[in-house]
Structure 1
């Protein structure tokens, strides 16, 4: 809709986890390093957690895209219990037919598959997204499946991706044995103000833009409302581009961002979750005192100090 108006090859702020648009903030670089370390050091379990929309899946997809034919990859995207059981998910992830409804035979089928791949010099990697939905029983079943890894031989590697609730589950004393199997873990935090600006410019550049469509005060407002969470940034930037196109404006400022928030009633979706964030207060104060843009009334529970405070 707005691509031609802004001379873009594609939408820069799609919500799909596209590795081509991957931007490595300071925290994302650390997460990527931990992922690569876990994989190449042959850790049995690697766990990556982060808030909704933090970019976890995009990071993992980027890692998977770099691997060669010596790695056989299976991905489980839906972990809700109503969609089946663990062994059925695993067999489907590797395009293996279920030998029978019996779990023992399914496990034997998968074990034979792993050993066949190992004999051919290949590694098997199982990625489980939305792992916070896994029950305690399912996590314990995963641990038992990983028993195929003996001594120094790692036949099966697992990457678990989940929201912060996964951390709480793995700290449950009943899952102590599982937690002891985790070789690498990392919690992906939101981006700071500087990386938020770099992220926006990066995605615009990848999409074909040669200009800075968003002004500095617009980026400050976007950071305050999104608090550095990539998915929230994408939602707000995409809507801002639509609004700018409708108004035939080639540049987006903070007032337009505020208009988007007000008119589209997005504040309940993309308002900050970590309301104690000092950086948000500092940026909001800069907007108010330097740019004359007051967003304090739209950021619940955040008191923006005045110059005389």
Structure 2
């Protein structure tokens, strides 16, 4: 909607992991450098973690695009798979036959592929994004894949990318063998205030046909405080701020425009939270109501049974007998 107004080739803050828009903050640059070094060395597992929206997927795709012809890579983004499904997916990504339905045949074909690539002097890497979703069973299967090796080198290098929960999962007792094989751990952190300014300008410069759009200092501050340096949140609020500026026919994103965008996003977020809270309250109310009805029914049933016992002929005879016995004594 605002693309032509600001002379953009495309919207600069779209929520897609486009490597062309990769901004190398200090943290991103360090992780990318470590990742490149680890692949050159070819040792063990690599673990990359970062909070939601810090740019892990964008970094992975940029890394993959810059690999040379001597490196064969497979990238798996949706790892909600069991062991067999994961092996089939890995083979598919490498262009290997994956019609077998058992672990042995799938691994044998993968091993043959890896040996052939090694003979050609090529490296093979496997990147699994959102790896915090992998089950313990699948992670253990990946550890076994790392046993594919020659007497001198690993045939497959595995890079696990995920949210901080991935690190917590790997720290578990069940996965201690895998944890010991991780030779490099990197963490992506949110952007600093200075990097937020640079990030916004970086994306605008790539998308712009000509210079024009500007963000005021107050706008940068508001966006930084709202986003806490998380690139995905920066994209969301900047996109909304540009739309607000377009509606107001303004070429400069002022602090007031940024705050208006943040307030609108906050209202929507509050509405969603309130809706969720109301649903929870409704569920809780009906749960308590059903519990109360159940308790009353059980109580009344017990009370009626007790009255029936008291008023029964047998109980009357017992009471009379007890009464006579008491009189004799």
Structure 2 length normalisation: TM-score?
Answer: 0.78
RMSD (Å) for aligned C-alpha atoms: 1.8
2:134, 2:125 → 1: CA distance?
Answer: 18
Question: What is the total number of aligned residue pairs between the two structures?
Answer: 269
Distance 1:71 1:158, change over 3 A: same
Partner of 2:112: 112
Aligned pairs for 1:14-29 within 5 A: 14-29=14-29
Is 2:2 the counterpart of 1:38?
no
1:84, 1:143 → 2: CA distance?
Answer: 14
Is 2:235 the counterpart of 1:234?
yes
Deviations 1:44-81 (A, max 9, x none): 21111001110111112111111121111111110113
Structure 1 length normalisation: TM-score?
Answer: 0.82
SS at match of 1:210: coil
Q: Please tell me whether the aligned partners of residues 193 and 223 of structure 1 are also in contact (alpha carbons under 8 angstroms).
A: yes
Distance 1:239 1:80, change over 3 A: same
Which range moves more in the overlay, 57-66 or 260-269?
Answer: 260-269
Partner of 1:278: none
2:165, 2:116 → 1: CA distance?
Answer: 36
Q: Please tell me whether the aligned partners of residues 46 and 160 of structure 2 are also in contact (alpha carbons under 8 angstroms).
A: yes
Partner of 2:8: 8
Runs of 4+ in 1 over 2 A off after TM superposition: 81-85, 149-152, 261-269
1:196, 1:146 → 2: CA distance?
Answer: 39
Q: Please tell me whether the aligned partners of residues 6 and 213 of structure 2 are also in contact (alpha carbons under 8 angstroms).
A: no
2:115, 2:166 → 1: CA distance?
Answer: 30
How far 1:254 sits from its partner (Å)? 2.0
Q: Please tell me whether the aligned partners of residues 147 and 154 of structure 2 are also in contact (alpha carbons under 8 angstroms).
A: no
Distance 1:96 1:266, change over 3 A: farther
Partner of 1:297: none
Which range moves more in the overlay, 30-39 or 185-194?
Answer: 30-39
1:82, 1:171 → 2: CA distance?
Answer: 21
How far 1:266 sits from its partner (Å)? 4.8
Distance 1:83 1:136, change over 3 A: closer
Q: Please tell me whether the aligned partners of residues 55 and 230 of structure 1 are also in contact (alpha carbons under 8 angstroms).
A: yes
Distance 1:2 1:60, change over 3 A: same
Partner of 2:50: 50
Residue ranges of structure 2 left out of the alignment (5+ in a row): 272-329
Aligned pairs for 1:1-309 within 5 A: 1-81=1-81, 85-208=85-208, 209-264=210-265, 265-267=267-269
How far 1:131 sits from its partner (Å)? 0.2
Question: Whose Rg is larger?
Answer: 2
1:259, 1:38 → 2: CA distance?
Answer: 45
Deviations 1:156-191 (A, max 9, x none): 111111001001001112211101111111111101
1:40, 1:82 → 2: CA distance?
Answer: 30
SS at match of 1:152: coil
1:229, 1:84 → 2: CA distance?
Answer: 36
1:167, 1:191 → 2: CA distance?
Answer: 21
1:262, 1:164 → 2: CA distance?
Answer: 29
SS at match of 2:226: helix
Distance 1:84 1:212, change over 3 A: farther
Distance 1:113 1:56, change over 3 A: same
Deviations 1:103-155 (A, max 9, x none): 21111111111111112221111110000000111111100011012443121
